[in-house]
Structure 1
Amino acid sequence: MLLTFPLLDARALERARAVLANAPWKDGRDSAGDQAAQAKNNTQMPRDCREARELSAMVLQALDASPMFLSAALPARIFPPRFNRYGGQSNHYGPHVDSAVRFAENGLRVRTDLSCTVFFSDPADYEGGELVLHGPDGQQSLKLPAGHAVLYPASQVHEVKPVTRGDRLACFFWVQSLVRSDSQRRLLLEFDQALTVLRQQGGDNESTVALTGTYHNLLRMWSET
């Protein structure tokens, strides 16, 4: 399941860009595994710098306030957000698959069910830099407005095309979901969205209460905590 949604409002974006303008950067290959390091050519903000901590808190707060993210991802654990830049000579990330388990600096282990990218740069500010997802039905190319996020299965082969003008600034992280199966998460999201519409149209009644119970019983059956 691939999902795009707005995450950061104009005020948050303005602050994020001010922080990013003065942020330190280093070789992004330092955080990649053996296979990914051969394909990775970008720069990345040190995870323990002041700027990274501030932006990470901003993104996590926005995720916690996003009904779409919470309903689609059903997060159990979130790997602390990190931040990268593509431009100049460090401008692409070739086809790769994310590691199945990520180890955070606080000892947290996160099974990477879902990958998420949050775009900070407007598409007009750079050329190239598309996030390309490779799947059984072909390729999907994404270049989202600033402040928007894309959520997709971490098991998919994906890449970032070379940036040929400007800089592409983004946030990335992984989610361990309460529900491991992508197809089950999709069904729960569709169920939740349809139930929300029914409640908006007719309020709570005997049928919506019963359907809410069915949703939670499915989540209870499929979730891992």
Structure 2
Amino acid sequence: MYLRVPKFLNDQNLKLVDELIAGGQFTDGAATTGGPTKSVKKNLQIDLVQHPQRDQFLQMITTTANSNSMMRSATLPRRMTLPLLSKYATGMAYGWHIDNPIMTAMGSPVRTDIACTVFISDSSDYQGGELVVRTSSGDVRVKLDRGDAFIYPATSRHQVLEVTSGERLAVVFWIQSMVADASKREILRDLSIAYDRVLKDSPESEALQSIQRSQANLLRRWGQV
């Protein structure tokens, strides 16, 4: 599933991110990866492990992801990684790669089912720097407004194109879903959309109860908690 989540972070959330950036120190992003990916990763990242606002930042991202209905129904989050805050200055890029299947968050393993990029810079603040995700129907280029998020399967090959002017800031994190199979998550997402539409038009209908029952029973069958 490839999905834009408008205004994932509100103004108050973005203010916290701005404060975190102002109080943090960017280091070479290639230090956080290895193998062939290391040679194509040219960006900077803030080391959040020792950052004094780390816990506040993590709580904000976790709470927002779990409370955003669009994000929650699309990802069915079980665990999340510690978010990364990346910066691409002019001339920086991140070549084609696939994310690690297992990452560590606060000492616990997280299976990376879904990747999420939250755009912190406004799209007019820089040139280039598009996130490009390879899909079965072609490449998708993504460059969103400040606070918007984009989620996509972490199994996808993707890259960040070179920033030709300005500065691109983004928050990136990965989600382990309660439902590992992407096609099953898609079915549950479709049922969620159908539920919302029927709830709006016919809140007392038997159809609404049938959709709700199907959602619940499929999640019981497929979900891992």
Check whether TM > 0.5. yes
Contact kept, 8 Å, 1:102 with 1:112, in 2: the verdict is yes
Whether 2:161 is the aligned partner of 1:151: answer no
Distance in 2 (alpha carbons) for counterparts of 1:186 and 1:64: 18
Q: How does 1:97-136 map to 2 (within 5 A)?
A: 97-104=98-105, 106-136=106-136
Question: 1:68 maps to what in 2?
Answer: 70
Question: 1:206 maps to what in 2?
Answer: 206
- Residues 177-214 of structure 1: per-residue CA shift (max 9 Å, x gap): 11111111111101111111101112133331122111
Question: 1:32 maps to what in 2?
Answer: 33
Residues 82/52 of structure 1: CA separation in 2 closer, same or farther (3 Å cut): farther
Distance in 2 (alpha carbons) for counterparts of 1:88 and 1:137: 30
Contact kept, 8 Å, 1:52 with 1:82, in 2: the verdict is no
Contact kept, 8 Å, 2:132 with 2:141, in 1: the verdict is yes
Question: 1:164 maps to what in 2?
Answer: 164
- Residues 39-95 of structure 1: per-residue CA shift (max 9 Å, x gap): 101000002212444433322221122011110000111111111100035x11000
Question: 1:188 maps to what in 2?
Answer: 188
Distance in 2 (alpha carbons) for counterparts of 1:136 and 1:202: 37
Structure 1: state its 5+ residue gaps: none
Count of aligned residue pairs for this structure pair? 223
The one-letter code of the counterpart of 2:20 is V
Contact kept, 8 Å, 2:101 with 2:111, in 1: the verdict is yes
Contact kept, 8 Å, 2:127 with 2:164, in 1: the verdict is yes
Deviation at 1:163, TM superposition (A): 0.7
TM-score (norm 1): 0.94
The percentage of counterpart residues that share the same residue type is: 34
Question: What is the Cα-based RMSD across aligned positions, in Å?
Answer: 1.4
The one-letter code of the counterpart of 2:172 is F
Distance in 1 (alpha carbons) for counterparts of 2:170 and 2:53: 14
Deviation at 1:23, TM superposition (A): 2.2
> Which sits farther off after the overlay, 57-66 or 15-24?
15-24
Distance in 2 (alpha carbons) for counterparts of 1:172 and 1:204: 41
Deviation at 1:16, TM superposition (A): 2.2
- Residues 146-200 of structure 1: per-residue CA shift (max 9 Å, x gap): 1010110000000000111111111011111111111111111011111111011
Structure 2: state its 5+ residue gaps: none
Question: 2:61 maps to what in 1?
Answer: 59
Distance in 2 (alpha carbons) for counterparts of 1:42 and 1:10: 26
Contact kept, 8 Å, 2:66 with 2:77, in 1: the verdict is no
- Residues 84-128 of structure 1: per-residue CA shift (max 9 Å, x gap): 100035x11000000111122x22101111111111000000111
Distance in 2 (alpha carbons) for counterparts of 1:224 and 1:40: 33
Distance in 1 (alpha carbons) for counterparts of 2:96 and 2:152: 15
Distance in 1 (alpha carbons) for counterparts of 2:213 and 2:104: 36
TM-score (norm 2): 0.94
The one-letter code of the counterpart of 1:71 is S
> Which sits farther off after the overlay, 150-159 or 53-62?
53-62
